[in-house]
A and B are shown apart, each in its own frame.
Chain A
Amino acid sequence: MLEFLNRMFGREASGSKNVAKERLRLVLVHDRASVSPQLLQTLKSELIRVIEKYMDIDEEALEISLDSNETQVALVASIPVKGMKRMTRHVASGI
Chain B
Amino acid sequence: MGEVIVVTSGKGGVGKTTTTANLGAGLATHGHRVVLVDADIGLRNLDVVLGLENRIVYDITDVTGGHCRLRQALIKDKRFEGLFLLPAAQTKDKTAVSPDQMKALCRELKEEFDYVIIDCPAGIEQGFRNAIAGADKAIVVTTPEVAAVRDADRIIGLLEAAELRDPRLIINRIRPRMVRHGDMMSIEDIIDILAIDLLGVVPEDEMVVISTNRGEPVVQDERSRSGQAYRNIVRRIKGEQVPMMNLDEGGFVSRFLRRMIGLS
Taking the closest CB of chain A, its distance from the CB of B53, in whole angstroms, is: 37
Interface contact B154-A31, CB-CB below 8 Å = yes
A14 to B181, CA, bound (A): 9
A69 to B160, CA, bound (A): 28
When distances are taken between beta carbons in the complex, the residues of chain A under 8 Å from B154 are: 31
Interface contact B184-A28, CB-CB below 8 Å = no
Interface contact A23-B146, CB-CB below 8 Å = yes
A14 to B183, CA, bound (A): 9
Taking the closest CB of chain B, its distance from the CB of A49, in whole angstroms, is: 27
Taking the closest CB of chain A, its distance from the CB of B183, in whole angstroms, is: 5
| Chain B, interface SS category | helix
When distances are taken between beta carbons in the complex, the residues of chain B under 8 Å from A10 are: 180-181
Taking the closest CB of chain B, its distance from the CB of A42, in whole angstroms, is: 17
- Cβ contacts A18-54/B at 8 Å (1 or 0 each): 1011011101100110000000000000000000000
Interface contact B182-A24, CB-CB below 8 Å = no
Tally of contact residues, B, Cβ under 8 A: 17
Supposing A24-B146, A27-B146, A31-B153 touch, asked if A17 and B193 sit within 8 A by C-beta, the answer is no
Q: Which of B170-227 contact A (CB under 8 A)?
A: 179-186, 189, 193
Tally of contact residues, A, Cβ under 8 A: 19
CB of A7 closer than 8 Å to a CB of B: yes
CB of B145 closer than 8 Å to a CB of A: yes
Q: Which of B143-160 contact A (CB under 8 A)?
A: 145-146, 149-150, 153-154, 157
Interface contact A17-B184, CB-CB below 8 Å = yes
When distances are taken between beta carbons in the complex, the residues of chain A under 8 Å from B184 are: 17
Supposing A25-B193, A28-B153, A28-B193 touch, asked if A17 and B146 sit within 8 A by C-beta, the answer is no
Contact of B146 among A12, A14, A18, A20 (CB under 8 A): A20
A10 — nearest CB in chain B belongs to which residue? B180
Interface contact A24-B181, CB-CB below 8 Å = no
Supposing A24-B193, A31-B153 touch, asked if A15 and B183 sit within 8 A by C-beta, the answer is yes
When distances are taken between beta carbons in the complex, the residues of chain B under 8 Å from A7 are: 181
Interface contact B150-A15, CB-CB below 8 Å = no
A residues lining the B interface (CB < 8 Å): 7, 10-18, 20-21, 23-25, 27-28, 31-32
Sampled A-B contacts (8; CB under 8 Å): A7-B181, A11-B182, A12-B182, A17-B185, A17-B189, A20-B146, A23-B146, A24-B150
Beyond A14-B182, A17-B189, A21-B193: 16 further Cβ-contacts under 8 Å?
Answer: A12-B180, A12-B181, A15-B181, A16-B183, A17-B183, A18-B182, A20-B146, A21-B189, A23-B146, A24-B146, A24-B150, A27-B150, A28-B150, A31-B150, A32-B153, A32-B157
